[in-house]
Amino acid sequence: MNKAIAEHLRVVADFQPSNADELEAFRLKYLGKKGVLNDLFAAFKSVPNEEKKEYGRVVNQLKNAAEQAVLRFKSELEQSKPLHSENDLTKTGDHVFTGSQHPVTTVRNEIVDIFKRIGFSVSEGPEIEDDWHNFSALNFPEEHPARDMQDTFFVHTDPDWALRTHTSSVQVREMEGNEPPIRIIAPGRVFRNEAISARSHCIFHQIEGLYIDKNVSFADLKQTLLYFAREFFGAETKIRLRPSYFPFTEPSAEMDIWWGLETETDYRMTKGTGWLEVMGCGMVDPAVLEASNIDPKVYSGYAFGLGIERITLQRFGIPDIRMLFENDMRFLNQFKGVI
Ligand code: PHE
């Protein structure tokens, strides 16, 4: 083979440009009008006849190799080059999808803020709880139906452990670990083994309140709840306390707020009474104080607990509790900018 052509083949095979200028110089040198290949093709006439076939083969081989090198390096250099638009400061920004706060979170934060303003601090406890903190220390008798499998999700390997059925378990932890005065609210998830429907779910959120000090009376409880109701539902809100029963409070009550009885919805929501049930409450039972090593002769206190979902449904006119847990973007997007 012609020595000069063999050398060109080697140069082309080894060619490795580090930038576009080097590639262009290479292209001009081999494929340009006055380039190596045109010269070689022009020299074809003067090649002796018996060498023409071999000469044509290697010159074409060189031409293909040079063309392929140019194509390959051209696309490689283009890919590594930053796109012009990335540096274009006048380009419109990409659309950024923002999230929004879940309505349950909004209502929880609002309630927490209301109690913080009168000196309550936030406390939390575990979602997987032992029998002592969820039931026994709260004065639930052994045979109490709430301990039944129907209501509680037990950890199947150890029935002493369960998903907490209420945030009252945090009361116990708080009293065990601290000296009075205690003034806390405890928001969190709770779990009940119940059928899921438009009105109830097996997972929901509660906020617990606990105040323990010397000389705490039922009047303190009532005034605190009235303050909360007026902050949350409006300054004219009326409340009433109805006698009720919880194993861990004595006396116990349900707090209702006056909702009104004008429309058909009012009838449905208040079951025809005009009153809306908002929370359970009462004076902490002396047996509960004792179980947590607080002397009931020195200290007294009140506790209350409310469900967040139900008042969230009322606040936003949401017809079905399940919507709060489905993570459906069509539902959640409606709260963008609203809250
Ligand atoms: N733990 C009760 C419930 O889940 C609510 C409650 C809390 C009642 C504190 C009284 C005092 O229904």
pLDDT tens sequence across 54-104:
999 999 999 999 999 999 998 888 877 655 556 677 777 777 777 889 999
State how far the alpha carbon of 82 is from the alpha carbons of 3, 17, 22, 86, 101, in Å.
41, 18, 19, 7, 38
Please tell me whether 250 is known to bind a ligand: yes
- Residue 91 forms part of a structural domain: no
**Strand bridging mode 203-213 / 182-191:** antiparallel
Hey, is 337 helix, strand or coil? coil
Does residue 308 lie within any of the structural domains?
yes
Do residues 188 and 275 both lie within one domain?
A: yes
pLDDT of residue 86: 61
Q: Which domain holds residue 56?
A: 2-79
* Closest listed residue to residue 185, CA positions, set 136, 139, 116, 241: 116
Structure tokens at 6: 């063999």
Instruction: Tell whether 131 and 171 lie within a shared domain.
Output: yes
Indicate the pTM of the whole model. Answer: 0.72
**Ligand 1 centroid, distance to 250 Cα (angstroms):** 12
The number of the ligand 1 atom at minimal distance from the alpha carbon of 166 is: 4
The string of pLDDT tens digits covering residues 93-141 is 777 777 889 999 999 999 999 999 999 999 999 999 999 999 999 999 8
Please tell me whether residues 108 and 28 are part of one structural domain: no
Query: Does residue 152 contact residue 91 with C-beta atoms inside 8 Å?
Result: no
Q: Are residues 155 and 275 in the same domain?
A: yes
Domain count within the chain:
2
Give domain status of residue 25, yes or no.
yes
> Is 20 part of any domain?
yes
Q: Are residues 236 and 119 in the same domain?
A: yes
Q: Are residues 15 and 107 in the same domain?
A: no
- Assign residue 182 the CATH number of its domain: 3.30.930.10
Q: Are residues 71 and 116 in the same domain?
A: no
Rounded to the nearest angstrom, the distance between the alpha carbon of 40 and the centre of ligand 1 is: 97
Residue 147 and residue 53 in one domain: no
| CA 137 to centroid of ligand 1, rounded, Å | 14
Ligand 1 residue neighbourhood (C-beta within 6 Å): 166, 168, 208, 246, 249, 280-282, 303-305
